[in-house]
Amino acid sequence: MTSPIELEGAETPSLVDKESAPQEGAKESKKLEGRSPGQLMWGRFKRDRTGVISAVVVLFFFVIAAAAPLISMVYGKDPYTLYGQERPELLDMFTMPAGPAGGMTGEFWFGIEPVLGRDVFTQLLYGIRTSLLTALAATVLMTVVGVLIGLAGGYFGGKSDYWLGRITDFFMALPNQLFFVAAMPVITTVFVAPDEETPTYVRTCAIIIVLSFLGWMSMARLIRAATLSLRDREFIEAARISGASPWRIIRKELFPNIVTPVLVQFTLTLPSTILSIAFLSFVGVGYVEPTPDWGRMFAIGARYIEQDPYYMLFPGVAMVVFVVAFNLLGDSVRDAFDPKTGR
């Protein structure tokens, strides 16, 4: 039993499990005096040091992603100029950065890219920007689709649930990553004139569409299960008997109770979406040269890891930090919503 249900308690007639969780009961009694669930969640979250730090880290990534153009302006480099080509002394005869540690200098903070000789720092900034924004859009879209389908199936049950379930099964049975790879060229070739460069926004849209088209099922299943378990609960029944419309019940009664699984799933999905985008770029159907992309940096870095491990260093560390922070943040968000399952 999750605590959002108990928070509902004040306005629902049945609260059978209060006594079984005395700590909760004790705390509820205070909550009921004043603060809203949101404030409580925020209060609890604020006290979770790991959560706050992870949130700061994640926020930091989003901020630098958003401010990439600004930062690069101040820094005085951009991710497209081939510095190594304009200044041949930057690359050695193997087209690797000539300077030590991947060519890190006061001028090129994170070194320069092998072969083409672009600036790694701005490349990473813009790469994070590309990946994050694409992943965010895709994850939001697949979350929305998943929640809607899950709610519809779980709440209405019967035939619609059956068919939605079958559709979900169908998509689950698809070898996803294979389909990403197979579908991407189709989308890009169908929508772009044969003699024009595929614009980056078309690729972005294609990636978002493909990923969310094939990525909503876990969310839908989760929400369906949660909705099913909630549907027959007394407070829903009560709302139904009191004549509330299905939409109202979904919105007012069901939705607040599935926020936790949705948020937790969202925080799980976002990093994995970033990794899926990286996968697409890795096999050459996602972003292509010269778009700076986090995932593509891995593909490049993996190619030169032995000669120039420093190129991989910053994207790699950044990725690990980001994914870890995001996962910890997910835990904290869940704890804040539902202290029982936390640490």
Partner 1 sequence: MTTQTKPEEAAATAAERAFLSVRDLKVHFSTEDGVVKAVDGLSFDLERGKTLGIVGESGSGKSVTNLAVLGLHNRKTTAIDGSITLDGQELTDAGEKQLETLRGKKMAMIFQDALTALSPYYTVGRQIGEPFMKHTGASKRDARVRAIDLLEKVGIPHPQQRVDDYPHQFSGGMRQRAMIAMALACDPDLLIADEPTTALDVTVQAQILDLLKDLQQEFGSAIIMITHDLGVVANMADDILVMYAGRAVERGTVREVLKAPQHPYTWGLLGSMPRLTSDVDEPLVPIPGSPPSLLNPPSGCAFHPRCGFKEEVPGGRCSSERPLLAPGRAAACHLTGDQRQQLFIETIQPRLG
Partner 2 sequence: MSIFRNRTTTAALVAVAAGALTLTACGGGGGSSAEDNSKSKEDAKSQSKPVQIGDEKASTGPAAEVPGAKAGGTAIVYQEADFSHLDPGQIYVSDGKLLSRLIYRGLTQYAEDDKGNLTVVGDLATDAGKVSDGGKTWTYTLKPGLKDENGNPINSADIRHSVERLYSTYITDGPSYLQQWLSGSGTTYRDAYAGPDKGKHLPDSVLETPDEKTVVFHFKDAQPDLPQMLTMPGYSVVPEETDTKEKYDTDPVATGPYKIADFKPGKSMKLVKNTQWDPKSDSVRHQYVDGFDIEMNHDDEDQTKTLLADQGDAKNAMMFTGQVATTQLQAVVGDKSVLGKRTIEGYAPYVWQLNFNLDRVKDKKLRDAITLALPATSVFKADGGAYGGEVANSLMSPTTPGYDEKYDPFNRAKKPNGDIEAAKKLIEEGGFKGKKLVYAYGNTPVRQQQAVLIADALEKIGLDIQKKEIDSATWYEQVGKVKNGYDLYMTGWGQDWSSAATVFPPLYDGTQIQDGASNYSHINDEHVNSEIARIVKITDTDQATKAWDALNKYISEKVNPAAPIYYTKVFQIFGSNIGGIRYSSDSSYVDVTRVFLKK
Partner 3 sequence: MLQFLVRRTFGAALILLLISAFTFFMFFAIPQDPALLACGKNCTPDALAIIHKNLGLDSPVPVQYWNFLVGIFVGRDFAVGHCDAPCFGVSFANNQNVWDTILDRFPLTISLTVGSLLVFLTLGLGAGLLAAKYRGTWIDKVFSSGSLVISSMQIYFLGPLVLLALVYSTGWLDKPKYVPISEDLGGWFMGLLIPWVVMATIFTANYTRMARSSMIEQLQEEHVKAARAKGMSSNFVFFRYAWRGSLIPIVTILGIDLSSLLAGGMVTEFTFGLAGLGRLALESVTNKDLPMLMGVMLISAALIIVFNLIVDALYAVIDPRVRLS
**Residue 93's binding partner, choosing from partner 1, partner 2, partner 3, none, with beta-carbon cut-off 5 to 8 A by kind?**
partner 2
If one asks whether residue 334 binds partner 1 (CB under 8 A), the answer comes out as: no
Tokens standing for 174? 């698809």
- Chain CA centroid to CA 160, Å: 29
In the structure encoding, which two tokens stand for residue 1, read together? 């039993």
Residue 9: CB partners within 8 Å, gap ≥ 6? 15, 18, 28, 32
Of the candidates 34, 76, 158, 194, which one interacts with partner 2 according to CB under 8 A? Answer: 194
Separation CA 123–CA 116 (nearest Å): 12
* 190 contacts partner 2 (rule: CB under 8 A): no
Alpha carbons 287 and 281: distance in angstroms, whole number: 5
Query: Which entry of partner 2, partner 1, partner 3, none binds 33, CB below 5 to 8 A by partner kind?
Result: partner 1
Choosing from 26, 66, 70, 302, the residue that interacts with partner 1 (CB under 8 A) is 26
Q: Are 151 and 157 in contact (CB under 8 A)?
A: no
196 lines the binding site for partner 2 (CB under 8 A): yes
Residue 340 found at the interface with partner 1 (CB under 8 A): no
Would you count residue 116 as binding partner 2 (CB under 8 A)?
A: yes
Task: Say how many residues touch partner 1, by CB under 8 A.
Answer: 20
Q: How many helices (H) and strands (E) does the chain have?
A: 17, 0
The reply on whether position 299 binds partner 2 by CB under 8 A is yes
Decide which of partner 1, partner 3, partner 2, none touches 290; Cβ closer than 5 to 8 Å per partner kind.
Answer: partner 2
> CA 200, CA 248: separation in Å to the nearest integer?
41
Query: What is the rounded CA–CA span in Å between residue 256 and residue 122?
Result: 41
Q: Which of 37, 290, 316, 339 binds partner 1 (CB under 8 A)?
A: 339
- Contact residues for partner 2, defined by CB under 8 A: 82, 85, 88, 93-96, 115-116, 185, 194-198, 282-285, 288-290, 299-300, 303-307
